[in-house]
């Protein structure tokens, strides 16, 4: 019988680059930057790594289709290296591969690294979707944009729960103000300038009701994790280490887009994925047991709705909880303590591991000005795709007991 992954994998080292418009570095340099920090943090030698997973999404303008760039950039000792891609869950997918490699007993120590170099295209925004996804997007989604589709999520949420439009705008604005305040304390964040609610509400509209500050940016960056078993972690002299409590992923089946039961106000994948993650981790009451979260705030409305899909806020009440400060850094369940996608930007292959990096630092008491008091469990959430067709991945990590 399957028993899940709880406490079978220890995270012994993590690294993360500074995110931003990294004109000074290519994808290979970013991989080295993150890896050097992770290796030093783990206190091991490179030759002890037995397998690696590389997460990168936009292959045509980035590092290509194979895993070779990771092996050559890091001069790995001719070990197995696998490239993975799963939309915005790509970084967590690399982590999942490395964790399963260790948990299965196939390897003792594994590396997961995610990287994305998005700013060298010569234009703003994400690369042409047709380049990485074939002809599907041009044939079936010719007018689709990310801000447009998530603006529809906001409209559906407002209509379903009968939220006043001004109240919803204020709640979304609070999400952005919170993240900018947190990001200002993070030297690795892309955007480190606090903003006021007045600035957010007065910003240009991108896709109604989403304004400029409701949208995350585009950045370059890389992050990595080195994992092993708790037994080997102890043999390496680790006395106070972090273990994986749950790893879950859920992909749309098509029912959101193909049937009328889904009314567009939430994410079915996140609702079901989080329930499985809590069961795997042995968490019965996430409202009181989850200490902190990093969620996929590609847009402020996404973070708000996710609070309900993660079963922290009740349906239709997340906007009230946001305004009440529940998810502020000094609130009941701090969210985006490092600034989130909103202030880091979203180098797709790196984001999931960047989220885990913050949870890891917090659990070790190494988050500096952002440090929370005695965190127990940290949850990360990635959402790839669009409200009507998406991928959700959730990881929960905590101290080994």
Q: Is 288 helix (H, G, I), strand (E, B) or coil?
A: helix
Q: How far apart are CA 108 and CA 112, in angstroms?
A: 14
Type and span of the H or E element at 31: helix 27-42
Q: How far apart are CA 283 and CA 394, in angstroms?
A: 14
Which residues are annotated as catalytic? 88, 346
Strands 205-207 and 210-211, by their bridges, are antiparallel
Q: How far apart are CA 391 and CA 298, in angstroms?
A: 14
The answer to whether 247 touches 96, Cβ cutoff 8 Å, is yes
Strands 242-251 and 10-16, by their bridges, are antiparallel
Question: Which strands, in side-by-side order, build the sheet including 110-116?
Answer: 81-84, 51-55, 110-116, 221-228, 10-16, 242-251, 389-399, 377-386, 292-294
Q: How far apart are CA 198 and CA 351, in angstroms?
A: 29
Which residues fall within 8 angstroms of residue 249, CB to CB, at 6 or more apart?
86, 89, 92, 93, 96, 273, 391, 392, 393, 394
Residue with tokens 């997961």: 112
């Amino acid at each position: 019988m399957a028993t899940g992954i709880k406490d079978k994998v220890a995270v012994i080292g993590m690294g993360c680059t500074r995110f931003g418009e990294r004109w000074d570095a290519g994808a290979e340099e970013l991989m080295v930057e993150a890896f050097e920090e992770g290796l030093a943090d783990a206190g091991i030698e490179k030759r002890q790594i037995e397998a690696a997973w590389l997460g990168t999404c936009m292959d045509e303008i980035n590092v290509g289709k194979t895993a070779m760039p990771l092996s050559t950039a890091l001069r790995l000792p001719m070990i197995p290296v696998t490239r993975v891609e799963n939309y915005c869950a790509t970084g967590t997918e690399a982590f999942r591969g490395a964790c399963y490699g260790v948990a299965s007993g196939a390897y003792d120590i594994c590396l997961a690294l995610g990287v994305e170099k998005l700013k060298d295209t010569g234009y703003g925004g994400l690369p042409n979707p047709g380049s990485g996804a074939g002809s599907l997007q041009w044939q079936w989604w010719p007018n689709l944009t990310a801000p447009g589709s998530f603006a529809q999520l906001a409209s559906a949420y407002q209509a379903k729960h009968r939220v006043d439009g001004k109240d919803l705008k204020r709640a979304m604005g609070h999400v952005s103000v919170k993240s900018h305040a947190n990001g200002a304390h993070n030297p690795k964040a892309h955007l480190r300038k606090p903003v006021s609610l007045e600035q957010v509400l007065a910003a240009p509209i991108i896709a109604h009701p989403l304004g400029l500050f409701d949208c995350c940016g585009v950045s370059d960056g890389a992050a990595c994790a080195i994992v092993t078993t708790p037994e080997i972690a102890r043999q390496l002299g680790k006395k106070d280490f972090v273990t994986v409590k749950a790893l879950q992923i859920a992909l749309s089946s098509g029912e959101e887009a193909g049937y009328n039961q889904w009314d567009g106000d939430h994410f079915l994948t996140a609702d079901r994925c989080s329930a499985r993650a809590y069961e795997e981790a042995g968490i019965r009451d996430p409202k009181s047991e989850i200490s902190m979260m990093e969620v996929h705030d590609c847009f402020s409305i996404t973070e708000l709705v996710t609070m309900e899909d993660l079963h922290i806020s009740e349906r239709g009440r997340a906007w009230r909880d946001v305004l009440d400060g529940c998810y502020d850094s000094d609130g009941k369940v701090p969210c985006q303590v490092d600034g989130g996608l909103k202030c880091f930007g979203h180098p797709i292959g790196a984001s999931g591991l960047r989220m885990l990096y913050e949870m890891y630092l917090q659990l070790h008491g190494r988050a500096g000005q952002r440090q929370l008091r005695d965190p127990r469990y940290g949850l990360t959430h990635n959402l790839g795709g669009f409200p009507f067709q998406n991928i959700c991945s959730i990881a929960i990590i905590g101290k080994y007991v």
